[in-house]
Structure 1
């Protein structure tokens, strides 16, 4: 069980990164970004397809060549509001500019070859 409990390696920016190799499983990856208002995060999906989850806060998102505007409605995880999510296909890139302090989960798994 201790292999499944991973502590964050930072306080802001990318604070978690779990890969199939580091977790000892085959497919799923997970990263967590804690951004302060005005900070930026971005990545390429490569061979993985990705779901961006606005855990809390708001960010301007561009992904797969489109501007998706400001995503996020709840300001903390205890609000009874579902998080906003965005699917990004494999072979594309995404970027987030924090409009407020925010937390973004990046969940990924291998996608189909395009």
Structure 2
């Protein structure tokens, strides 16, 4: 059985990063980032699909196929407003640019078909 406590990498903005391999899971990956104004987070989905959740703050969301513009989220994760989420299918690049300090969750799962 794997440990329930997972410590993140020591980079500047990763709060948590759990890969399926790290957690001994079959499918799901989970990461949380604390971005400061002007910082970017980006990736290409390859064989995984993504659900990117704006937990708090304001950020510019885009993928290689869509421009979602600036999204204004909650002031904090405890505010009683549903968070904003963006789905990214496999083989699509995505990017988030923090327009103010924000917290982002990135959830991944394997995808073999579109």
TM-score, scaled to structure 2: 0.90
Distance (whole Å) between structure 2 residues aligned to residue 19 and residue 2 of structure 1: 12
Q: Which residue of 1 aligns with 2:27?
A: 27
Which runs of no fewer than 5 residues in structure 1 stay unpaired? none
**RMSD after superposition:** 1.7
Q: Which residue of 2 aligns with 1:80?
A: 80
Which runs of no fewer than 5 residues in structure 2 stay unpaired? none
Q: Which residue of 1 aligns with 2:63?
A: 63
SS of 1:60's equivalent? Answer: strand
Change (3 A) 1:2 1:48: closer
Distance (whole Å) between structure 2 residues aligned to residue 110 and residue 101 of structure 1: 30
Q: Which residue of 2 aligns with 1:9?
A: 9
TM-score, scaled to structure 1: 0.90
Distance (whole Å) between structure 2 residues aligned to residue 66 and residue 43 of structure 1: 15
Change (3 A) 1:10 1:72: farther
Distance (whole Å) between structure 1 residues aligned to residue 6 and residue 57 of structure 2: 23
